Amino acid sequence: MNFTIENGENICSIGMSDIGSYIRFNYPLTVVWNDCKGSVGQYFSVLPYNEEYRKIVRKNIVENLNQDFTDNIDSLYQILSPLFPIFKNGNYILQFFHNKNKEFFEYKTSTDNFKESKYFDLEVVFPNESTNVRNTNEIRKKHKEFLKEIKKSKEFYPSSLLDYSTNNIYPGIQSLYATQPFQNIDKNRVEYYESIIKKGERPFAIIFNAYFDLNYDSANFILDGHHKLIAYEKLGMHPPLATITYRPENISEVEFDAGKLAESLYPWQIKHIMEHWDDKNFLDESAAQDGLKKSNLIIKDNSKKEKLNFLDWINNLFD
């Protein structure tokens, strides 16, 4: 179903370029970009938990929807319509994929002349740790300690600060990317969904993505449904999915905010993105530099607080 948003507040959007994509809610939530090592590998960062984002998404949708909207897309549109104003104005496509047909995960190959359907496994991608610029100095210290340890052990590990602090993954084509850290997942909530799925219910998750052309297409970001998807993955089942796809009409509508990325990522992460960003039309170096300045202020401010806390601790020892 094609539809247009005309009352969008541009709170939540997807940015994409030739090197990667991100989902943002005022500020980036999750960033995925190519590792540029001549492979299909990607770097992947989730920023700290955004409580405001979760509240607004939860407020505007109905939980535990178990209906099959394959042949009733108008009803799905009505149910999800309270969510649409958080997006930017523009053209979108709403689709529903039933778990029985598994169309979202379907692919064909030339080995049998594209006759038989095959299916990607469900892959829900979470990072090992979230990226938090307030921890920049701590990450640098840990990395130095790590280098000392691997020098002693003579074992081979990626030694760069980028590889040490960033998830390097080889995702499937239809991988679903988390927009919250795994430590925020409620184990009991996952078990609840496992229970109702086993009983025959099929709650669906909502995926947000964007597509302009083969050079400008985004990752599949989980807008809502992390717990459901983990439950389906644990049960070895494909989930039903509602997908909202942003479709810019021309290249000028394609967003990629280097400034906000630079404020949110570690300095060495944004440096890697900017160095490998081939499309100079989108390379806003001044915005990236402004973002890095703001990031450095946050890092310095946090460093001062750490020193003050340490002095407080010392003083308390002698009270």
Q: Of 152-156, 181-185, 260-264, where does mean pLDDT reach its minimum? A: 152-156
Look at residue 282 in the predicted model and tell me its pLDDT. Answer: 59
Look at residue 63 in the predicted model and tell me its pLDDT. Answer: 64
Instruction: Write the DSSP assignment of 251-273 as a string of letters.
Output: GGG----HHHHHHHS-HHHHHHH
Q: What angle do CA 173, 179, 182 make, to 5 degrees?
A: 100
pLDDT in tens, 57-109: 878 776 657 888 988 999 999 999 999 999 999 999 999 998 888 889 988 88
Length of the chain measured in residues: 319
Break the chain into its structural domains and give their ranges: 2-257
pLDDT in tens, 269-278: 988 888 887 7
Query: 261, 271 in Cβ contact below 8 A?
Result: no
Please choose, from the candidates 190, 204, 194, 200, the residue with its C-alpha nearest in 3D space to the C-alpha of residue 241.
204
